[in-house]
Structure 1
Amino acid sequence: MPKVGMREVRRAQLIDATLHTIDEAGLSGTTLALVAQRANISTGIVSHYFGDKNGLIEATMRHVLRDLWAATARRRAAAKPDPRSRLRAVVAANFDVSQISAPVMKTWLAFWSQSMHEPSLKRLQHVNTRRLYSNLCAEFGKAMPRAAARRSASGLAAMIDGLWLRGALSGEPFDTKAAIRLANDYIDLLLAQHA
């Protein structure tokens, strides 16, 4: 009889192994066998919990996205109630420590690429994109007309993604403070136009 709670322990162990395998071997080089070997368990157990590689990648991205959503909720809750502070909280969450380790960054890059071909990953990407846009739009909407809020939300979302992507691809340590500063300057410019 399996131990109580073992399922969640195994899933977490396999997700961690997946992140590190993608970091070292890339998505194309990641196999159930490599993940199992890294986790020191049988390939059959990986298949039991996730079915196939796509199921494993989807579960791994759901884990990464939960970390992002938790960071966003935590930072928004701690922010002052004004739009500037709450927008800055959303920006900071996207550059949270949970999102910038090498294994997570490489997994994000692999996810974005694979989401163009895999419907379940495309749905996850769509949910993530809509959630970011919705959060930004709601805050900008408190300071400017609806059409301007939508444009501002689209622009800031693109800036966040662009700064994150440049940081991920630079090959150097990610200067998150500089990225956050640039995004915050952009927020200030947008809000100043509607003050």
Structure 2
Amino acid sequence: MPKIGAEASRKAALVDAAIAAVGRTGTQEVTVARIARDAGMSPALAHHYFGSKSQMLVAAMRHILIRYGESVRQALAAAPPDRRAEAIVAASLDSAHFDRETTAAWLNFYPLALTEPEAARLLAIYHRRLRTNLLHALRPRAGADAARLAETLGALIDGIYLRAVIDARGPVPDQAHRMVQQWLSDALR
């Protein structure tokens, strides 16, 4: 008889192991066997739960996006209306998302999205929500310039992540946060 709740906890362990493995190696070329071993289970069980490595990586992507979305919603709920853009930046560059493993895993989802339709769909949702949230936050303060600022700010956030992974001397969360907040402050003058 299967253990009640075991499937959910095992899937979560595999997703966490996938994020850590991709983050450690910096590539999607990790094996299901490696991920399963890191999660303390057999490759057969990993395949049983996810079917393929791509599906496991998509589940990891979804997990990262869910955590990120929760952070943004909490930040927006706590922010006064005139500080919503700053709240989105703070949530986006929070250390909960800006650790090396999560950042490296996240950036590996971009090439996955080129070949995996579900990954492409999740990435499109992320970009659309980020742009929509920024646009809504910036419109009262930037007027007609809000769309341009939202696009630039979204690209700046993604670029900060890229630089942090590629350059070991790249920005850490506090530096990244200050850098982007300063750009936003200058842009809104």
TM over 0.5: yes
In 2, the alpha carbon distance for the partners of 1:140 and 1:24 equals 36
**What letter is aligned with 1:171?**
A
Matched-pair identity in %: 33
Contact 2:160 2:171 in 1 (8 A): no
- SS of 2:168 mapped into structure 1: coil
In 1, the alpha carbon distance for the partners of 2:26 and 2:162 equals 17
TM-score when normalising by structure 1: 0.90
**What letter is aligned with 2:186?**
L
* Cα deviation, residue 125, structure 1: 0.7
In 2, the alpha carbon distance for the partners of 1:164 and 1:21 equals 18
- SS of 1:142 mapped into structure 2: helix
Which residues of structure 1 form unaligned runs of 5+? none
Task: Map residues 1-195 of structure 1 onto 2, 5 A cutoff.
Answer: 1-82=1-82, 85-145=83-143, 147-172=144-169, 174-192=171-189
In 2, the alpha carbon distance for the partners of 1:137 and 1:21 equals 35
Cα 1:163–1:26 shift into 2, 3 Å: closer
- SS of 2:181 mapped into structure 1: helix
Cα 1:88–1:118 shift into 2, 3 Å: same
* Cα deviation, residue 173, structure 1: 6.7
**What letter is aligned with 2:181?**
N
Which residues of structure 2 form unaligned runs of 5+? none
In 2, the alpha carbon distance for the partners of 1:65 and 1:31 equals 23
Cα 1:152–1:174 shift into 2, 3 Å: closer
In 1, the alpha carbon distance for the partners of 2:167 and 2:24 equals 17
Residues 54-100 of structure 1 deviation map (CA, whole Å, 9 limit, x = unaligned):
10000000000111111111111111221xx1111100111112212
In 2, the alpha carbon distance for the partners of 1:88 and 1:75 equals 9
Contact 1:137 1:153 in 2 (8 A): yes
Cα RMSD over matched residues?
Answer: 1.5
- SS of 1:4 mapped into structure 2: coil
**What letter is aligned with 2:155?**
A
Residues 118-158 of structure 1 deviation map (CA, whole Å, 9 limit, x = unaligned):
2111111110000100000001112233x411111111111
- SS of 2:188 mapped into structure 1: helix
In 1, the alpha carbon distance for the partners of 2:164 and 2:32 equals 29
In 2, the alpha carbon distance for the partners of 1:32 and 1:68 equals 25
